[in-house]
Amino acid sequence: MDMRSVKGSQARRDHTLDFADKPSVLTALRLIAVQLFYGMTFFSSAWMSFTQEMPSWFNEQFSNTVLASMPGALNTVYYFVATLETIAMIGFLTSFLMLESFDKKQNILKASLTLSLFIFLVMAYGFHLTRQHDVFESNFLYFIGTIIVLRSLEKQERVEMLIVPRNDS
């Protein structure tokens, strides 16, 4: 076998590796849409939570629950959720500003989406506790949608690992 063809083959494979280090433009645009959707959702919620006092409806909603019997529990829960939403929003903003959608691994985005699961879980529990089943169901859809986005990112990563040959030399 001619060594020039081996070197040429290696150069082509190296070029493929360089090109495959970035997701497609369509994938990057989908990730930007995810970053913006979740970022705006958590921004608006966190902004309202910290720029206004705890709304009276929140107290009324939880007045017949075990949380109302504990001193300071309602304030603690309200601002705990607001803090989680702020952290998630900062994560999505950081992912967006660091152009993670154009990177092969989106670690900050994945961490923010995982935090979102816990936020939706806490909120769903609150809606279940107050017997607001219609709102619970819509929150459940956010939860499921987030799982689908996370699974999509994991699947994309696994597919890229299978398609792109490794350069172990």
Q: What is the pLDDT of residues 13-31, one digit of tens each?
A: 444 444 456 777 888 899 9
Backbone angles phi, psi at 157, to 5 degrees: -65, -40
For the chain, 169 residues long, give each residue's pLDDT as a single digit of tens. Answer: 555 555 554 544 444 444 456 777 888 899 999 999 999 999 999 999 888 888 888 888 887 888 777 887 788 888 999 999 999 999 999 999 999 888 878 899 999 999 999 999 988 888 888 888 788 888 889 999 999 999 988 877 666 555 555 555 5
Q: Which residues of 154-164 are buried (b: 16+ CB within 10 A; e: fewer)?
A: eebeeeeeeee
pTM attached to this predicted model? 0.75
The widest CA-to-CA distance across the chain, in whole angstroms, is: 82
Rounded Cα distance, 113 and 63, in Å: 31
